[in-house]
Amino acid sequence: MSKKIQGIALIVFFAVFFFGLVWSAIVPPNNEAPDEAAHLQMVYFLKTHQKIPVFNNEVDLPYLVFDKKMLSGAYYSMAYNSPLSYLPYVPFARSTLEENTKNNLLPLRAISTVFVSLFAIFLFAGLVNISDKKPLLVASITLFFSLMPQVIFSAGYLNIEPIALFLSALSFYLLTCIYKDRNIILYILFGMSLGLLALCKANYLVLVLSLGLYSIYNLSTDTKLKFQGKIIRFLSIIAPVLLLNAWWWIRNYSLYHDPIIFNYIQNLIIKEAPPWFSPPKNSGFNIFSIFFKSDFAKYGYGGFYAGLGGANIFLPLIFYVLFYVTLFLGFILSIYRSIFNKKLRVLIYGSALVLALNLLLFGYKNLSDFSPQGRHFFPMIPIVALLLFLGFEKIKSKIPMVTILFFSIFASIYSLILLINNYFVFGTAYTMAGNSDNIADGFSWQIMRWGNYLNLIDTVFNGNSKLFSVYLTLAYFLLFLILVATLIIWICKTKKWQETN
């Protein structure tokens, strides 16, 4: 990498990092972020019991329950996840008890921020490996996805999406590395990254499979490498995946007769469901009609971009329209390129097939356990980013990329303001009854008095530690603004859009 590309990479990393810290400081505690309490339970279970929990069989973790108030109607603990998803958080659980307070959560939230920042830098590096002629374009696309309100929100609380996002981008980056360099060490690292990703979250298995198959296809079409070398590299990918996951699959099969647990959970839900519980498939929905079920688009497609708080804070419709129009335009342009570039056809058509497969699996899962969370589309971000990059790469004008960069920055900041407004000003976003009175009494955005705004600040930052005080959080936000402004100025001053050195 040239020094310019390294500088851009650092800007991308720290822009996401500092803005993630701002979200960490502001998102309310006590389970206002989706399932944060359930994830905290898992962290403390591993810390105190020092064993892997058995799903639906631990006194310290919730059993399967049914509640009409929930979208899915069924709720269960996070014990179906592998311990890998929680191990990075365990050393930073500071209290001796499971306390769902800001002071206890902030160190754990900072870990989420680090992983999302690493996701950004490896996504950037992977796209640069594909083509290093337009690093500023790559930076714009990277921030377009890293600053998606739902992604940067995930950087601001304890959950298991950040580590999975990081490993997905790392795997993507290593795939681009082995495409350029047949070094056996890179293949081993790629296999290890895929293995950890497969162990992390089951809904990332489609991405693991697609990246693995593409690497094998790439090996098979290499005319310079001998057959023995291909076999060794093939095994270097497969062996780490199997070694890292075999124990988990065997354990699950012995306990639940299901290697990835999900069929076991679905069967358990069907077995123990009360008379009023009726999953979509019982109402006549199938794998195609489920996409038209009420709330599917709102929580699925809408939630992929922004369904904040307890999935009850949504942006104005124009944000979603602009986001998906941008994706659609990128897809169309990438398909258009594939018509004239045979080398890109397998990559682009294969990526489109993976997206379709992931969507169908998402629909199938929701037939029995209706919970169309947009976060379940996160595994597709590296592939969507790749298609967007390939689509926009040949555009000579800077305007489209400057536009999407401005859009992503504005949308993420607007989302943070909307979160503050819905929680701390009006209190309409609270999902836990015990938090409903945590608002700035008498506050109004129109009253331009210091005491008025100090009231809101005190409410938002109540319970924060010193590293997330008002002044330091403001410093993090200013650093974020300086970094993205630097990137925008850099783009505008670059005479040649393809200049790299």
pLDDT on residue 222: 84
Kindly state the average pLDDT of the residues 475-481: 98
Query: For 343-396, what is each residue's pLDDT tens digit?
Result: 888 889 999 999 999 999 888 888 887 888 888 899 999 999 999 999 999 888
The tokens 């012995």 sit on which residue?
254
Running DSSP on this structure, what letter comes out for residue 134? -
Q: What is the pTM of this model?
A: 0.94
Question: With the CA atoms of 24, 25, 30 and 32 taken in that order, what torsion angle do they form, in degrees rounded to the nearest 10?
Answer: -60
Running DSSP on this structure, what letter comes out for residue 65? E
pLDDT on residue 496: 61
Confidence of residue 436 (pLDDT cuts 50, 70, 90): confident
Confidence of residue 137 (pLDDT cuts 50, 70, 90): very high
Kindly state the average pLDDT of the residues 123-133: 94
Amino acid of residue 100: N
Q: What are phi and psi of 397, to 5 degrees?
A: -75, 145
Alpha carbons 78 and 34: distance in angstroms, whole number: 12
Share of the chain above pLDDT 90, in %: 68
Query: For 19-33, what is each residue's pLDDT tens digit?
Result: 999 999 999 999 999
Structure tokens at 416: 């943070």
Sign of CA dihedral 170, 173, 179, 181: negative
Choose the weakest-confidence range: 185-194, 204-213, 388-397, 492-501: 492-501
Alpha carbons 279 and 97: distance in angstroms, whole number: 37
296: left (phi over 0), alpha (psi -120 to 50) or beta: alpha
Structure tokens at 237: 């990918």
Alpha carbons 41 and 57: distance in angstroms, whole number: 14
For 385-388, the CB contacts below 8 A with 24+ separation are: 385/123, 385/127, 385/141, 385/142, 385/144, 385/145, 386/127, 386/130, 386/172, 386/347, 386/351, 387/330, 387/331, 387/334, 387/348, 387/351, 387/352, 388/141, 388/144, 388/326, 388/327, 388/330, 388/331, 388/334
Confidence of residue 53 (pLDDT cuts 50, 70, 90): very high
Share of the chain above pLDDT 70, in %: 98
Q: Are 221 and 213 in contact (CB under 8 A)?
A: no
The answer to whether residue 500 scores a pLDDT higher than 60 is no
Looking at the chain, how many residues does it have? 501
Q: Are 68 and 77 in contact (CB under 8 A)?
A: no
- Residue (of 168, 178, 194, 171) closest to 232 by Cα position: 178
Query: For 6-21, what is each residue's pLDDT tens digit?
Result: 999 999 999 999 999 9
The answer to whether residue 279 scores a pLDDT higher than 90 is no
The answer to whether residue 262 scores a pLDDT higher than 90 is no
Mean pLDDT, rounded, of the chain: 92
Structure tokens at 279: 């999953």
pLDDT on residue 341: 85
The answer to whether residue 210 scores a pLDDT higher than 90 is yes
